[in-house]
Amino acid sequence: MSRSINVALIGNPNTGKTSLFNRLTGLNQKVGNYPGITVEKKEGLCKLDRGLKAHILDLPGTYSLNTSSLDESVVVETLLNKNSKDFPDVAVVISDIENLKRNLLLFTQIKDLEIPAILVINMADRMQRKAITLDIELMEKELNTRVVLVSARKNQGINALKEAISQYKTLKTEPCVNSSVIDPEYFSRLSKVYPNQQLYKLWLVITQDVNFGKVDRGRDYEKLKSSNFSVKSEEDLKKLQHKETVVRYQFINGLLKKVLHVDTVHAKDLRSKLDRILLHKVWGYLIFFFVLLLIFQAIYDWSEYPMDWIDQAFASLSQITAESLPDGPFTSLIAEGIIPGLGGIVIFIPQIAFLFLFIALLEESGYMSRVVFLMDHIMKKFGLSGKSVVPLISGTACAIPAVMATRNIEDWKERLITILVVPFTTCSARLPVYLIIIALVIPDQDIWWFFDLKALTLMLLYLLGFAAAIVSAWVLNKILPIKRKSFFVMEMPAYKLPMFKNVLITVIEKTKSFVLGAGKIIMAISIVLWILASYGVGDKFNNAESIVKEQYAGQDVEDKIIEQKIASHKLEHSFIGYIGKAIEPAVRPLGYDWKIGIAIVSSFAAREVFVGTLATIYSVENIKDEDKMNETIKNRMRAEVNPILGGPLFTFASGISLILFYAFAMQCMSTLAIVKRETNSWKWPAIQFTAMTIIAYFAALGAFQILK
Amino acid sequence: MIYLQYILLAIAAVGAVLWLFRKSFFPKKYDSGNCGDGDCGCH
């Protein structure tokens, strides 16, 4: 009579789990190359030796037992509920030879549940090509279990696996990692309350609710929940989960150091060859530098025409609106306030879309992970964690997700330093400011016969952002010494051709979120600014026309110029004019006039408001002049005259000063709010805001005073 | 007609100020379960 045992096939996504399932059961299933193809539990029968049959469950792919989705929770449910008919007699954990480190995290968790577990290393046929050697005997000894090399694709090692499954009773169930080291005091109390329970199982039961709350885990779970054993907050449990991951990776690292050897010099495949060049300590950085240069060159060259069209279109729209709607203050608000303000941000869509296009291409191709790896070497020298690289690079899009991405840094001080320095990286909101100032003050000139000086300047500003972040981190590291380094684990994906659809979706989503996010705030600020710029109190505002006409009485001045002077006089004595004049003493040493002062103050809410503010202010000033009404923002800014020194307001000195101010200043209320939430205190955002504003002010002051 | 324009202007101004006030002092709460854009590497 044949006996049947339950075998659970478990593994990370993309390890070839479904292919192995097909080999073992002979069932015909669809096999894909993207995570999550196994979205439900699948089962099949496999004949083993001596009349033994295996009832094989193909469980959904998961990276660990700290699940966060319904698919993954099926795995935990199966492994925790001993009363379930599917509870496995043996767990077959599948890993991929190229990602052993990451795959072993799940294996150690399953082994610690004291379920007989076999480690299957799939894609073993690639070992020779990739110059990988593995000491299986030592690995079996260290993990206290059977390790089987297979190639599901080439049908190699399947019989050895079947044999190992049929001998499941000989498998040892001792845990790999002593789970009580996660929190000895807590685990000691847990073992006193539940002396007959497995500690790690209890721990998983307790922590599952932290990730995912609606899983039926049988009577043990219900008993534990009804016992009210809850002495840790959700946040503390999450921290302990992170600690568990670190402890496991420390164990895995130690193990792989002993058993795994990768001879990168003799590796023959394309990936290894590319990695040897792209991760080279000299060529790697040089190639990255040229990739950046090419990106910024392309951003400038390709965006020029669409930007000019958008600029012209908004100027025309403003004019058409003013001419076709009935005269009145609301029409003026739309034509002079809202449309120019929005135009000031929409104009940057082409450049922002190109930036995101290149970032998406780098990510999709697998090159971005190599960049993170390269940067990790620099980070460590400045006392930052390797994990800080991800927030710093994602900060080029927006500081908010970047600050939130610091959550996987276990060490509090490393995390805090990363949170504090992330806003230095050049986010997309700085891009409009940089682009308009560079266009005004950097000459059209080629470098090395090919690269545009403007593109080079933009690239240098991105590098300046990173430099400011890591130098600040170094300083903070000295002030707040880091005692413990967190562990950096990163998967190096294979190189692949980017999928057009993925790239397109990323570009559209990121650009849309930038324009909508900035667009709303710019519209609101444009309305407020326009009202403040169009209304005022006192004789100087109300009698502006008669005052100016009196000044120019008897002089041969064109009516158009008189009207321009009246508009300037009114603006200067409007509400915004008084506010600007009050700010002017503080910004004059930096080379700015009161209008730029107003733009800086309004952009403390969000940096991108700067261009919109200037567009609104200059629009109000020039609206009476029909010729100027149709002018583009750039031309209006170029025509501005320095009220003190005469000559153009936007010179090389004042432009560089302004760029440096925006490079260093903390002008984003949303980021401050996120920093407050992540640090649970107003102290850190206040320090961050003050320090960055002081650095920005003095950098801008120094630049203007030296260059003027 | 001009009164209507002033009314619309007042509505726009009050709306903008209230919206900015809310945005500045009561910012949107972000999903605490999310580790940020992309894979956080926790799991």
Q: What is the CATH number of the domain that holds A112?
A: 3.40.50.300
Band of residue A688 on the pLDDT scale cut at 50, 70, 90? very high
Q: Tell me, yes or no, whether B6 lies in a domain.
A: yes
Could you read off the pLDDT of A297-323 as tens digits, one per residue?
887 778 878 888 988 898 899 899 999
Q: Where does a domain end: A220, A236, A266?
A: A266
Residue B21 lies in a domain: yes
Distances in whole angstroms, Cα of residue A548 to Cα of each of A118, A543, A559, A626? 90, 9, 12, 19
Looking at the domain assignment, is residue B42 inside a domain?
no
Is pLDDT larger for residue A162 or for residue A502? A162
* A471 is a domain residue: no
Nearest CA distance, B2 vs chain A (angstrom): 6
Q: pLDDT digit string (tens) for A62-76?
A: 888 886 555 667 788
- Min Cα–Cα distance to chain A from B5, Å: 5
Chosen for mutation from B4, B35, B37, B39 (greatest number of chain A CBs closer than 10 Å) is B37
**B13/A531 CB distance under 8 A:** yes
- For chain A, percent of residues with pLDDT exceeding 70: 86
pLDDT of residue A8: 93
Residue A64: list chain B partners with CB under 8 A: 43
Lowest mean pLDDT among A257-261, A305-309, A518-522, B19-23: A518-522
The domain boundary, picked from A209, A233, A266, lies at A266
What average pLDDT does the segment A638-659 reach? Answer: 82
pLDDT number for residue A213: 45
In a domain, B38, yes or no: no
Does some domain include residue B5? yes
CA distance A578 to A575: 5
Least confident piece of the model among A25-39, A238-252, A377-391, A397-411: A25-39
Mean pLDDT score of chain A: 81
Chain B's closest residue to A243, CA to CA, is: B42
Q: List the single residue in A405, A490, A531 with the smallest CB-CB distance to B35.
A: A405
As for how many domains chain A has, the answer is 2
Residue B39 lies in a domain: no
Q: How confident is the model at residue A671 (pLDDT cuts 50, 70, 90)?
A: confident
Q: Is residue A357 part of a domain?
A: no
* pLDDT-based confidence at residue A108 (cuts at 50, 70, 90): very high
Residue A340 lies in a domain: no
Question: For residue B34, is it within any domain?
Answer: no
Residues in chain A with CB shorter than 8 Å from the CB of B6 are 328-330
Within-domain flag for A388: no
**What does the pLDDT average to over A156-181?**
89
Answer whether residue B40 is part of any domain: no
Three-state DSSP at A258 gives helix
Note the pLDDT of residue A135: 92
pLDDT confidence of A443, banded at 50, 70, 90? confident
What's residue A224's pLDDT?
Answer: 58
- Mark yes or no for CB contact A67/B43 under 8 Å: yes
Hey, what are A28's tokens? Answer: 């015909």
In a domain, A192, yes or no: yes
Q: What is the domain range of residue B20? A: 1-25
Token pair listed for A192: 């006193």
Q: Is the pLDDT of residue B11 over 90?
A: yes
Answer whether A669 touches B (CB < 8 Å).
Answer: yes
Of A34 and A439, the structure prediction assigns the larger pLDDT to: A439
The answer to the question of residue A86 being in a domain is: yes
Contacts by A435-438, CB closer than 8 A, 24 or more apart: A435/A348, A435/A351, A436/A611, A436/A633, A436/A634, A436/A637, A437/A650, A437/A655, A437/A658, A437/A659, A438/A655, A438/A659
**Residue that is last in its domain, among A266, A298, A321:** A266
pLDDT above 60 (res A51): yes
The alpha carbon of residue B42 is apart from the nearest alpha carbon of chain A, in Å, by 6
A605 CB neighbours in chain B (<8 A) are: 20, 23-24
Condensed to tens digits (0 to 9), the pLDDT of residues A592-635 reads 888 888 888 877 767 877 887 787 777 666 555 545 544 566 77
List the domain range (segments joined by +) for residue A546: 509-707
Q: Print the SS3 string covering A564-619.
A: HHHHHHHHHCCHHHHHHHHHHHHHHHHCCCHHHHHHHHHCCCECCHHHHHHHHHHH
> How many domains would you assign to chain B?
1
pLDDT at residue A240 greater than cutoff 90: no
For residues A434 and A449, the answer to whether their CB atoms sit within 8 Å is: no
How confident is the model at residue A491, as a pLDDT?
60
What is the ipTM for the molecules in this complex? 0.76
